[in-house]
Amino acid sequence: IGVDTALVLAGEIGSDLSQFPSSEHFCSWLGLAPPTRISGGHRLAGGGPKIINRAAQALKQAASNARNDKGFIGASHRARLTRMDTSCAIKATAHQLARLVYNLLTKKKAYVEKGLEEFEARSQDRQLRALHRKARQLGYQVGVAGGL
């Protein structure tokens, strides 16, 4: 998040987020939360209501620029781009940034960059767990060999 984005956020939401009980409420107010239109256990067609919000637009712009970032958020955005179309990936990254902003402003703690290595380690761990789960579903028992 650059200086321009931070100024827009400060102008739109201020520093007091007490009106939002949780980050989910904050993201919903911004219009960045995924739609939850479910009836009878099935997702309904169409998205949620169209919400125009300057703070959300600034976060989407920051998410769009995250593609070139060398940190954790940039890596997660690039991973999203491989799985979904560009607009959905930008909205998901903006949602991640909104949750981050909410936590920073409510807990009054500085942001600590996790780095690309942390993202790669999480990704590898997630893939390993998925492979173990798939092997169990197929009836195989997986053991760790060779110190992996």
Q: How far apart are CA 60 and CA 96, in angstroms?
A: 10
| Three-state secondary-structure class, residue 39 | strand
Helix (H, G, I), strand (E, B) or coil at 3: helix
**Model-level pTM?**
0.71
CA distances from 8 to 33, 87, 112, 120 (A): 20, 21, 22, 32
Q: Tens digit of pLDDT per residue, the chain (148 long)?
A: 778 888 888 888 887 888 889 889 988 888 888 777 778 888 777 666 677 788 889 999 999 888 888 888 888 888 899 988 998 899 999 999 999 889 888 888 777 677 677 777 888 888 888 888 998 898 888 776 654 4
Classified as helix, coil or strand, 85 is coil
